Amino acid sequence: MSETDAQADVTVVLPDGSELDVPAGATVEDVAFEIGPGLGRDTVAGKIDGELVEKHAEVHDGARIEIVTDQSDEYLTVLRHSAAHVFAQALQRLHPEATLTIGPPTDEGFYYDVTDVDLDEDDLDAIEDEMEAIIEADYDIEREVRSREEAKEVYADNEYKLQILEEEADDEEVTFYVQDGWRDLCQGPHVESTGEIGAATLLEVSAAYWRGDEDNDTLTRVYGTAFASESDLEEHLELREEALERDHRKIGQEMNLFSIPTVTGPGLPLYHPPGKTVLRELSDFANELNREHGYEEVETPHVFRTELWKKSGHYENYKDDMFLLDVNDEEYGLKPMNCPGHATIFDQQSWSYRDLPQRYFENGKVYRKEQRGELSGLSRVWSFTIDDGHLFVRPDQIRQEIESVIEMIFEVVETLDLDVEVALATRPDKSVGSDEIWESAEEQLRDVLESGGYDYDVEPGDGAFYGPKIDFGFEDALGRVWDGPTVQLDFNMPDRFDLTYTGEDNEDHQPVMIHRALYGSYERFFMVLIEHFDGDFPLWLAPEQVRILPVSDETLGYAHRVKNELEDAGFRVEVEDRDWTVGRKIRAGHDDRLPYMVIVGDDEQEAGTVSVRDRFENQRGDVDLDAFVDHLVAERDEKRTEPRFVDAE
């Protein structure tokens, strides 16, 4: 390479879309100084093509660059990464025998996996005290570059760090971060000094597998969190406490919704009658939406020959996560996705351009062999159901069908009073399809979002290898965001399955396949709703909608007549006939998260009326039963989110 070539500029793209020429070999920090000296001085880290990197990371030609300062959303991630190092240093001050493995930041804080030391919850206070001392000392956090061979010498007795150096350190030089003489192998980024960590705390101790693989060593994982200020930490801990109270596993047990007993196997939930009632209502709602929008229901088996998974590409990409079995010397696999079955259904017929779009839906059970250490309640399981939809469309129909899918998703969002975050995920480096198809597809998705007035983020390079997508994240009552619905364009599977339709020119053409889900998976969506509503489901979803409380045995017969009236109108009703006081029955009803309780005594029996109490502890007496039934019907059919009768006329 000539000296001229070596000094040639590279062009980077800034967040506003403008371009900036910088010398070859420039770093994120150099880019920041080119933009302005103030920004250069404030730079903590950066993002290259969406990936968070240290400020010393070298940029490349065409890179999309974002500068991270202490005002950026990503700053908290950087600060928590440094807090993980503070924890590790504090631990080794108190327990020099401890062996460190990895300690990344997370959405909620950080964790560090360690071994060769026995830790439990009682040890955390002492480690926290040592962390506070390190933070108060305000040690500089300095980047240190060493050769990979030198790093191996440093970690000659640490098999875990050696594995990282062998498998992940591609360059001959690696980086350490050093504070007060203590160092850890790390790519960064980090804050400038330990004093920038305004507040940190340790939360819990658990077991974890090295690299999340249950066949590897079991390590000790310590979770913590950190913020720039004590007030931010206190606010977070209050929200965390509320989140623990709303935990779907806790509420699921209290309401008898589901269980995941050890005897059935990990990640395999059992739905009890109340839980299945909620799922059935959600399924009926989704099925109704699907039919209204022209979808036809299909059904595919739980297991296929692996020939199908090889054809679709899932065998190559999902084999390690699939449940495989041998039947008569032939390999089969439990399905990890429904789409190959739907593509095969489409392939069984000949289609004209006039027949498209074809829209299929299925509440299809799928199976993925997640690592046991990653399983958590209903949020991550081995067996789950996707409210799957697949559309086979002409290229000119993409926009119209995407608009229709988004309309369906927002009907779900608005019906359940949820908020969503929207993101457009664009072409990754590894992808299939022509530039023209990708550009057209991304532009159509972008136009749909902008013409619809949706606020959305762009996730560069985060699309599927077979096409761009729009992702929706459900935001719950505590502001947490969970993966939810998605709309994906797929040019790969139609090609792999050689799907065609006859065009207007009487030639074969390849359809575009759209993957979509309104909930995501029923399991995760159920989890979101349990925690979002704190178990206080809207009337239409509530497992038990009305409970009738007779004041005495003398009014028990009238209570059952009221029950019959409500059941005839299609409601789920029980009579509380235990020998309890009315006060105790009311307390039990509130504990059971009932939308409504109906109290009937001598006066109600004589007048043929009821006394109604809602979950907000509002009560009205002398209510005409027909009027109450009419209210319930309207509240259920309109899918209102707050059961409230007192305000009704």
Binding residues for Zn(2+): 339, 390, 515
Return the residue matching tokens 């979770």: 223
How far apart CA 641 and CA 417 sit, in angstroms, is 7
- On the question of a cis peptide bond just before residue 15, with omega within 30 degrees of 0, the verdict is no
Name the binding residues: 339, 390, 515
How far apart CA 591 and CA 589 sit, in angstroms, is 5
Q: 591 is written with which tokens?
A: 């504990």
* Alpha-helical runs (H) found in 12-100: 28-35, 37-42, 75-94
Q: Do 447 and 399 touch, CB atoms closer than 8 A?
A: yes
* Burial class of residue 626 (count of CB atoms within 10 Å of its CB; 0-12, 13-18, 19+): exposed
Q: At what angle are helices 398-415 and 435-451 packed, to 10 degrees? A: 40
DSSP 205-233: EEEEEGGG-TTS-EEEEEEEEEESSHHHH
How far apart CA 595 and CA 538 sit, in angstroms, is 7
* Burial class of residue 647 (count of CB atoms within 10 Å of its CB; 0-12, 13-18, 19+): exposed
Which of these, 291, 258, 444, lies nearest to 360 by C-alpha position? 291
Strands of the 330-334 sheet, one edge to the other: 303-305, 330-334, 324-327
Strand partners, 84: none
Q: Do 353 and 335 touch, CB atoms closer than 8 A?
A: no
Q: Do 309 and 318 touch, CB atoms closer than 8 A?
A: yes
